[in-house]
Structure 1
Amino acid sequence: MAAGTLRGLAVAGGGESSDSEDDGWDIGYLDRSSQKLKRSLPVEEKNETFKKALTTGDISLVKELLDSGINVDSSFRYGWTPLMYAASVANAELVRFLLDRGANASFDKDKLTILISACSARGSEEQVLKCVELLLSRNADPNAACRFFSLEAHRWH
């Protein structure tokens, strides 16, 4: 394999604790020659392919799958959406693409917001900042309650 052909990416782990080590999201590598759907896939296979495209950051395949009818606000394991996963790994390019396709920037799962996912992402400070700016520009609510940062938990007694 030629140097530079593959680029490792950090991948969201689901954000929820689980007894199982298999969270359904594998660390992937972005193959610069983007995959293409060679045939019409059954819904279950399409969802798995969508998940792989998200985890590897393959925007052209994500586009193709969305064009084929997959919902941009699909719900995956733990109820996370594609945008929540993209924000949680600070993939600003994918965050922008999903927002442009109509993804809901104000989504929350059990009071964990996409904005908080972006703020706590493991990525470069620059990429995290880009994701946060994108989400705020698309009406993510910075005042939404979050299970990790409740005022009650931080109140002086």
Structure 2
Amino acid sequence: MALLVAAAAAAPAYAVTVAPAGAISLTGSTTLGKSGITIGCTANLVGTITSTGEITITSAKFSGNSLCSAVTGTGLPWTGAVLTTTGLQLHNVAVDVNVPLLGGACGPTPVAGTITENTTAKETLIGLHNQLLSGGCSVSGTLQTTPYLTVH
């Protein structure tokens, strides 16, 4: 699902500068696929980002239809890093889907995301495109950062 942004304890392999550093939230539509079922939810991830692109996600909540309340972020904090001006890597992304028969654990698995910065609209979007998680799961979605981030 919106298993998005997290950062490694080590500095990113590519020298990036992210501004502003500090508290961050990522909110947007996500889709989690498991056992042939697709669940569309709004993800709300909260954490921090450093000026060197290290990200830590400390809270992952999902809302929307009734199945979304059955999705729980696990193994927090998730960590990762902004690797380039257009991409990031998330580590140990994991959720638990608490529904009978079709539920279970998804992840922990590394996930790659894209970064799109729209300077005119002052928005930064994180894209997850059919990322496969262990447990027979996949996640896609687009999350907007608050605050707007610049990545150089």
Same fold (TM over 0.5): no
Q: Between Structure 1 and Structure 2, which shows a larger proportion of helix residues?
A: 1
Q: Where on the TM-score scale, by shorter chain, does this alignment land: which range?
A: under 0.3
Q: TM-score under structure 1 normalisation?
A: 0.21
Which structure: larger Rg?
1
Greater relative contact order, per chain length (Cα 8 Å cut-off, separation 6+): 2
Q: Between Structure 1 and Structure 2, which shows a larger proportion of strand residues?
A: 2
